[in-house]
Chains A and B, each alone.
Chain A
Amino acid sequence: MPLAPHRLEVRRSPAGLQWWRGHCGSCASCVSGLEAWCLSFQMPDELVGEPRAGWEMVARHQLRDLDPVTCAATAAVLDVVSATAATTGPRDEHCVLVIGLPEHAERVCDALQLVGVAAVPEPVERSSRLSAEARTRLASMSSSGRPDLIVSFDGASASAARWVRRGGAIAPCLWWSGSAEPAPPLDTLTMREVTIAPLRQPHLQLAESS
């Protein structure tokens, strides 16, 4: 059986980039801000009457073209990119550092690049220092020299809070890593104005559908 034809659609509006999530926006989960747990989640193909005004599709990728891990991780990153734009300020350039996923980080970043999100992998998990290669790539891709957003699939947050640019966001992925290190110290969070964004588990069917 083929994988379900879930697609990763990324659209651009005047407000910025948004990942198509297919949530209803009106059920109990959605109104509580938990769209990823939408009770009426629909696949993109099932949606009708969806407002398109002001939206321009910039990329469309068949998820079956990606391996399941890359697919789910990419979707999770795009979700948090969209969610943090309001707190860190929508900017045309938005550089993401993806920590962890040793065997998939490059492919995740490639997928993010395909949909217009600059991304740098740091596959080394739970490191106390950012690798020289990641620093070099950040220097060339981010005008501040630091990432605007760090998604840590290893659950790290204290180091991420130090590496992100001041006023940037971090998203430790607890449901992926299964464990997390303690949150960053209060003074680091406050003085560097770091945002810790919740990373939602995307509705993606990664196994073969029956």
Chain B
Amino acid sequence: MDVTATTARHSIARVRVRPIRIAELSFVAFFALVTGLPLLFLLGGSFNLAAPGQPAVYGLANWARAFSDPATVNALWMSFLLSGARLIPAIVIAVLFAWLIARTDMPGGNAIEFFCWMAYFIPDFPLTLAWILLLDPNYGLLNSLALELPFVHSAPFNPYSFWGIVWVHTSTGGIWFKVILLTPVFRRLSAALEEAARVAGAKTTTVLWRVTVPLLSPMILAVAVLSFIRGLQSFNTELLLGTPAGIYVYSTRIYDYIRREPASYGEATALGSVFIVALGILLFLYWRFLRGKRRFTVVTGQGYSTARVRLGGWRYVALAACALYIAIMTLLPLVFLTLGSFMRRYGFFNISSPFTLAHWQDVLRDPIFFLALKNSLLIATITAGVGVVLYSMAAYVLVSRRAVMAPVLEAFCWLPHILPGILLGLGILWLFLATPLRFVFYGTTWGIALALMVSDSPVTTQAFRAGYLQLGADLEEAARVAGASWGYTYRRVLLPLLAPVAGAIGLMNFGGALTSISTPVLLYSHQSRPLALLMLEYSVTGELERGAVLGLLITAMICVMMLIGRRLGLQLSGQQ
């Protein structure tokens, strides 16, 4: 009794400071600085005719110049066109995959799902390099093979084209991302709805296209719009395949503006601003559309039956088709990328002693490589580590119900999700150039890590938020009532319980930091260059074999991480 009485009396004299309020304010300030301010600089910068860091001169000249150049408008149009063109085949394929995995008795569904996860994490840059090595009109292996045929007289494939870009995109992460999103949706659909259609006399395929897909159409559409927006953020494939053919999207155009001498910040920001406005309109329409689509509420998961569609003999055909798709679109390119890294001159099998270790030796002996490796590991560790600590706390503030500015904080957390990497990089570059932050961050590994951390904020915060919600408040409150301070509770109760979430998201962010190109591409210097950008430099300067070596190394690192993740018991398929 005495203990309580005295502590209580102490508290009377003390002015109350609420830690959660301080945390909330710090987070809002942090996000305003690293997300809000870059966006503001981006939008404001387009009206600023002076270089960043110089006294501002306002005017419309940037916009005038950007839009008097038809190339700018074309780039914007091309972004939408490319993202749209690859959406349709990708959605059809993803729906088929998800349906086969989740709703049919296809054998090995879980293994296929796991491979989809693996494929999702394979970085797109090495895959694009691999397709170049297979499809290049001069030395591409598939072209050479095709030319052997008697009736083929010119190279049939050309990756440096609109359809080349679309093709490569159907093998990279985007398609697997859709499978990963759609599979749980298909899994939760009540089988009774399909069974009713069967009883009414419909065939399996009729049920799929007439019942299952229409029922899930709002979800599929949601995934499609999300994919479209993500597609607009694409940079690597467009840079490697589009630039040689003169096909520019807005992101490669911005890259071009900043990389030219002298850099045209004004035009770049003007183009970025137009894109943001267009994206804003798109998102608003999407939100309006989703709001009206609450009609199909059958996907509740309540009392659903998990009976699966019987495919009969077709189930082996289905399995073979899925396996073949993964093999052709993912494994085949990687195998030939590996082969290419060991060839003296890629595609020239007829020269004497075509195979060599020279590229590997050259790359691995080069001190530039070790500096880049060190930078990459440092950047990825900072990004993953600091991100986990920071966003686990931000998510805590958001779920605590005590945040006064929750909507603001939430908006800031989500902003980087729609902001393409190149624009985020541009905004942050501007932030570094225009503020004293440049002394610590400009051109350094810390600067790159900060940008990557910002781009991780939506997914990381969301993952922790889901984690907290799943834990419920009781476990934490029990610790508080038992006498533990918040810090003690966080260390001893919350963090250990969320270790699997923290592990999974940390690994993902680590991998993302290793492979990211578009976010750091405007922020690095020779001293802070990470592996992925060294790979980019080799690839755009014609040293494809060296690029292949680095691409393979990065892919290998990602695969090792995936296996570590699996060993740690992280959930990589929807089924428990």
A, B from the same assembly: no
**Chain A residues within 8 Å of B, Cβ to Cβ:** none
**Chain B residues within 8 Å of A, Cβ to Cβ:** none
